[in-house]
Amino acid sequence: MELAIAPVKFPPFSVGAVIEEQDTALILDESDEIRDPGQKPPWFYANKLDQQSLLEPGQIITRDTQPLRLQAIIHDLESDPICNELWIFQALQQAIEVAENRKIYSLQVPLLGCKFGKIKPAQFFAILLEIIRRQRPAPVNRLWINVPEENCQTIFTILSEQIEAAAEI
């Protein structure tokens, strides 16, 4: 499997699906902006969340867009910690299964759990490399790991160290 580390503005290749980080209530947003909730009072939104059935951590929600959007449910805002390695493992595994079933050979993924959770990039790569090692032959040929431009070199170094450590085992 080809692994590429690049920011959004410099895509290394086109992808058939994009994996997104999400929580059990589907309220996380990829942007860092705070949005105006409109004219409804705060209690309306709190009540709406209480009535909404929550999704299970570790699952994938598929959105039929172009490219396909795979929402990885890896956060439970009611739990402490809100994210864990098992949920990331389960979601990544399911995302690869969806890609295989839909004959998608290239994926884009962020460092799952690193933005909103307390997962370190090295932990994410350990999970990812374990999944890759179990998938022989790999159903996905290319994986674009989406990171901010200023972090590309650091993340590349962490990934290289993880690959070397995995090769020694």
Rounded Cα gap, residues 96 and 143, in angstroms: 10
Phi, psi of 77 (to 5 degrees): -65, -10
Q: How far is CA 125 from CA 29, 47, 160, 161, in A?
A: 23, 38, 10, 10
Domains, in order of start, for the chain: 2-30+46-168 (3.40.220.10)
- pLDDT tens sequence across 78-131: 888 899 999 999 999 999 999 999 999 999 999 999 988 899 999 999 999 999
The tens digit of pLDDT for each residue in 21-37 reads 998 888 876 544 434 45
Report pLDDT for 169. 64
Token code pair at residue 144: 């674009």
pLDDT number for residue 35: 47
Q: What average pLDDT does this structure show over 1-18?
A: 95
The rounded distance, in Å, linking the Cα atoms of 31 and 103 is: 29
Tokens of 102: 């839909």
| Share above pLDDT 90 across residues of the chain, in percent, rounded to a whole number | 64
pTM of the predicted structure, to 2 decimals: 0.84
